[in-house]
A = this chain, B = another copy of it.
């Protein structure tokens, strides 16, 4: 793949650091090839670049100890959560040490009265929600994968219900971070808002391990809603579905989720799950609120959908029926893969102003067809964020080249529409060039911050910033 980059290795430093860390961490220090490969591999088409060793940290002090050794010997240090990131975030292009945070999996504190909690970075979102359920609370951000909260924070993740609850940037109150010199800072206290100095919390959210390693996160929580209802509606075209989404947003309907499936995805789901949905673009919705409120919301949506030619409208409030209604969305990933057995699915992640969503999705459908690519589209429509999943035969170099052309074309299109090359997956290795296309003159100032906080470039080198 073109995107994997190589950086010079500091062999002497790495060797020295490996010796020290082996002594310090004993059985929690690993250099086996399989372990290393696993830690340099994520859900991406960028090839694996393994670190030289993996250390399993059990505490913030462990992380600080690793970083101090790496700082002293100018060795790369790369944080690892669950390995579900999508742009080669955990690759080790200059080698170095992977710090696995999965053992740091404790929910440290839940403050039910304040609707917040403190968690270690290895807690996954499902584990947190299981922990919270008895208290009637939940953490809303849902990127699909059962990712770790540290990783979700580091990539500024979001997902299907960001339209209502925001992204990680909106739901992190504070982080504890081990900085590049091994010192430990806390970016904010636990108040709901603050004007105290530079917003280091938001600087760390989305910094992808390049400015420090997040070792604890203070999160906002939500009360589990009194009622949840779901709805589904088919549309004659992507345009009609997107017009409906715009009406929903302008009307101020507080939808919790509003997902777009294009016709190819619906077809794939019909085949995969033996359903008989109309094979046209579809919106799937979820409403959170009071018993009366969710009914009111669903009715308001139904009227807006009808204005735009929506049909086959269904809504329900019971959990079993809700799961059935949403089955098309839950099955979408596997159904898409089944369109082409043995393929690899490579996801794009552009996000545009919602007034441009129909144009962007329509153009992406056309372009994929022109290039002879299979690229079904699922979108977090309320945010203008959508994923075209390229179903690729990775052994076919010509097809991969056409896929790269598509990705490049789509990122450029989104940027030309005042959008972004990444709504929620992050830059990683894969999108560094697009960051410059997107933000141009701002990028050198990001690089200045990086150099100020990590002068030896040991924190996850080769990510975010162009070389």
Which residues from chain A sit less than 8 Å from chain B, CB to CB?
A: 111-116, 155-158, 162, 166-167, 169-170, 179, 183-200, 202-203, 205-207, 211, 222-223, 225-226, 246, 249-252, 254, 290, 292-293, 296, 300, 349, 351-355, 383-385, 414-415, 418-427, 431, 434-435, 438-443, 445-446, 448-453, 464-465
Does the CB pair A420–B196 fall under 8 Å?
yes
Q: Given the complex of chains A and B, what is the CA–CA distance between A115 and B448 in angstroms?
A: 33
Chain B residues lying within 8 Å of A450, measured Cβ to Cβ, are 198
Q: Which residue of chain B lies nearest to A113 when distances are taken between CB atoms in the complex?
A: B355
19 CB contacts below 8 A, A to B, read: A112-B250, A113-B246, A114-B354, A114-B355, A179-B445, A185-B441, A187-B439, A190-B418, A191-B351, A191-B353, A191-B418, A192-B351, A192-B383, A193-B351, A194-B422, A196-B420, A199-B202, A199-B205, A451-B452
Give Cα A440–Cα B196 distance, bound, in whole angstroms.
Answer: 12
A223's nearest neighbour on chain B, judged by CB, is B252
**Do B353 and A464 have beta carbons less than 8 Å apart?**
no
The 4 tightest CB contacts between A and B, nearest first, are: A202-B202, A452-B452, A113-B355, A194-B420
Query: Which of B197, B222, B251, B352 touches A464 (beta carbons < 8 Å)?
Result: B197
For A445, the chain B residues whose CB sits under 8 A away are 179, 185, 200, 453
Q: A218: shortest Cβ distance to chain B, in Å?
A: 9
Contact A189 B438 (CB under 8 A): yes
**Known contacts A293-B296, A446-B198, A449-B449; A191 and B352 CB within 8 A of each other:** yes
Q: Tell me how far the C-beta of A205 lies from the nearest C-beta in chain B, rounded to whole angstroms.
A: 7
Please judge, given known A-B contacts A252-B223, A445-B185, whether A421 and B196 are in contact too, CB under 8 Å: yes
A187 to B420, CA, bound (A): 12
